[in-house]
């Protein structure tokens, strides 16, 4: 992975976030990450509002056939960040015995001792 380009980060912090150059220099990596996530979310919300307005226009337009109108804004224009989450199958969750033994040793679990304590 390439090292981050400070000029691009500084341009983002000063230009898009309204910080001074001194404030930008004092911003930690985690703060930068949160600011980027927040700005991305702002952009997503603006796109979602624009989509809703367009959908509402279609719903109110008397020249659009009722059967051709999308039922929801998401059906009209799905965004990449709205992908449905994929269900994980039981086959994907399989843990082999070697991993189970390693986890048991890591946490100090002794199966024999557990069986004896339950029978005892």
What is the number of domains present in the chain?
A: 1
Three-state SS at 17:
coil
Three-state SS at 73:
helix
Q: Distance between CA 57 and CA 62 in Å, rounded?
A: 10
In a domain? residue 18:
yes
- Taking only the tens place, the pLDDT of each residue in 35-74 is 999 999 999 999 999 999 999 998 888 888 888 888 889 8
> 69: domain range?
6-85
Q: Whole-model pTM?
A: 0.57
Region 21-33: what's the mean pLDDT?
Answer: 90
- Taking only the tens place, the pLDDT of each residue in 74-87 is 888 889 888 777 77
In a domain? residue 110:
no
């Amino acid at each position: 992975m390439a090292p981050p380009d400070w000029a691009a980060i500084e341009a983002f912090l000063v230009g898009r976030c309204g910080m001074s150059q001194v404030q930008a220099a004092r911003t930690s990596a985690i703060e930068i990450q949160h600011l980027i996530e927040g700005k991305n979310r702002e952009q997503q919300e603006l796109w979602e509002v624009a989509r809703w307005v367009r959908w509402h226009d279609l719903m109110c337009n008397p020249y659009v056939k009722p059967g051709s109108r999308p039922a929801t804004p998401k059906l009209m224009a799905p965004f990449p960040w709205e992908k449905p989450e994929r269900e994980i199958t039981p086959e994907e969750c399989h843990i082999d015995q070697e991993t189970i033994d390693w986890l048991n040793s890591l946490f100090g679990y002794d199966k024999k001792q557990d069986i004896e304590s339950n029978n005892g």
